[in-house]
Structure 1
Amino acid sequence: MFNEKKNSKSFMESGKSQNRISHGTSIVGDIVSDGGFRIDGVINGTLKTPGKVVIGKDGKLDGTLECNNADIEGIFSGKLFIEGLLTLKSTATIEGEVVTQKLAVEPGATFNASCKMESGVKSLSNNSKKDRTA
C-alpha cells in the first residue's frame, strides 16, 4: 500500500500524465501537453508532447505529430517528428513525411511516406567536438 502511494506521487510530480482521446471523439485544432496520449478517436491538427503517443486501431490523426516515441496501429496522415522510436504495428497506415531516430515496421503495415532517419546522438557528439576545438 505504501509503495502505491509513493509511485503515484512520483508519477504525478514528474508531470507525466496520460491523456486519452476516446473512440467517438473528434478534435479539430492544436494540442500541446506534457503528458503522453492514447488516441482511439480522431484528431485533425497538431499534437505536440515530450511523452509517448499511441494511436490505436480505431484512431486517426491527420496533421502533425511531434513526440518522443510513438506506436501506431491506426491511421496517420501528415508529418511525423519522432525523437526516439516509431513503431508501426501490422494494422498501421502511414502517409506523408516521417523524421525519426529509429523505425520498427511490422509486416502488414502500410507505409507510404518519405522517411528521414536522424540520430540525436550524432548531433550531440558533433557539438562536443566543436566545444573541444574552440
Structure 2
Amino acid sequence: MWGQDKQDGKRQTDVNQDTEEVQGESATVKEGLEDISAFVGKGVDFKGTISYNGTVRIDGSLEGEIRTDGTLLIGEDAIIQAKITAGTIVCKGKITGDVVARERVKLRAPAIVNGSVKTPVLSMEDGVQFNGGLEMGQGTQGATVHTLTGSSASGTKRVGA
C-alpha cells in the first residue's frame, strides 16, 4: 500500500508538470488536473483508434491511431505504435509511427521517436533519440524537410515566425 501511494504521488506530479508545461507557467495544479480528459495507465494495453477532445495522458501501451485537436501527453513508460494527429504532443516515452501536430511537439528526455514528424514548432531536450523525417512549416508553403538520425540537439526551432 505504501509503494502504491508513492507511485500515485509520482504519477500525479508528472501529470501536473506536463500539463503545466503545455498550458504555460501561470497554470495552477488544480487547473492542470481538471483539463485531463482521460488517463491510460502503466500496464494497460490498448489496440484501436482513440479520438477525443481535450487532454489525454498515456503511460501504457497503445497500438493503432490517435486523433485529436487537443493535447496528447505521453509518459516515460508509454510505448506507442500509432499514427498520431494532434494539436500539441508532449512526449517522454517511445513513439513508433508518423506524427502530425497542428501546434507543437515537445520531446522530453528520455523520449524515443522512430518515424516522421510534421509540426510548425519542435522542441527537443538533450537525451532524446529521434530517427526519421521532420517537416516544419504551416502547410506546404515554406516547409523545411530534414532527415534526422541519432540523439537530439537541445533547443526549439520555429519556421515561418
Q: Same fold (TM over 0.5)?
A: yes
For the 8 Å contact 1:74–1:92, the answer to whether it is kept is yes
Query: Structure 1 residues 17 and 54, CA, compared in 2 at 3 Å: closer, same or farther?
Result: closer
Match of 2:96 in 1: 77
Q: Is 1:20 matched with 2:35?
A: no
Partners in 2 of 1:91 and 1:18 — Cα distance? 25
Give the aligned partner of residue 80 of structure 2.
61
Partners of 1:104 and 1:95 in 2: CA distance: 16
Gaps of 5+ in 1: 1-6, 124-134
Alpha-carbon separation, structure 2, partners of 1:82 and 1:67: 5
The question of 1:116 aligning with 2:135 is answered yes
Equivalent pair of 1:17/1:34 in contact (CA under 8 Å): no
Matches of residues 1-134 of structure 1 in structure 2 within 5 Å?
18-119=37-138
Query: What amino acid is the match of 2:55?
Result: G
Max Rg structure:
1
The structure whose RCO (Cα within 8 Å, separation 6+) is larger is: 1
Q: SS where residue 57 of structure 1 aligns? A: coil
Q: TM-score, normalised by structure 1?
A: 0.76
Q: Which letter maps to 2:93? A: G
Question: Matched residue pairs, number?
Answer: 110
Measured after TM superposition, the shift of residue 17 of structure 1 is 5.2
**TM value normalised by structure 2:** 0.63
Partners of 2:36 and 2:57 within 8 A in 1: no
Alpha-carbon distance in 1 for matches of 2:63, 2:95: 10
Distance 2:53 2:73 in 1: 15
Per the alignment, residue 128 of structure 1 pairs with none
AA aligned to 1:77 is: T
SS at match of 1:29: strand
Shift of 1:35: 2.4
RMSD: 2.0
Q: Following the alignment from structure 1 to structure 2, what is the Cα–Cα distance between the partners of residues 75 and 115?
A: 17
Unaligned stretches of 5+ residues in structure 2: 1-29, 143-161
Compute the displacement of 1:90 (Å).
Answer: 1.4
Deviates more, 1:32-41 or 1:75-84: 32-41
